[in-house]
Amino acid sequence: MGIYYKQDICELLRKVGYTSYTLHMKGILSYSEWTKMEKHKLITWNTLDRICTLLQVQPDDLIGYREDEKDDSL
C-alpha cells in the first residue's frame, strides 16, 4: 500500500475557506497539485509543507504509511 492520505486534504482546505482557485490566485498551490490531492496521488514535499502551514497540522495528521508485503531486498 505505501503512503496514503489519512484525510481528504482538499475537503479540509475547503472547510477553512480555501478553494483551488484561491490557492492558485495567491500563488500557494497550482491547479495540478490540487488535482493530485483530489485523486489521492503523491504530492511534493513543498506542497505538503504549504498545506501543513495553512492547516496548522503535522504531516502525520494528513498522510500515513502502510507496509506492503515484506521486501527482503531492503
Question: What pLDDT is stored for residue 21 in this prediction?
Answer: 96
Q: Which CATH class is domain 2-63?
A: mainly alpha
Confidence of residue 65 (pLDDT cuts 50, 70, 90): very high
Question: What pLDDT is stored for residue 68 in this prediction?
Answer: 76
Provide the residue ranges of all domains of the chain, joining segments of one domain with +: 2-63
- pLDDT tens, position by position, 10-44: 999 999 999 999 999 999 999 999 999 999 999 99
Q: What is the mean pLDDT of the chain?
A: 91
Identify the bridge partners of residue 4 per DSSP, sorted by sequence position. 64
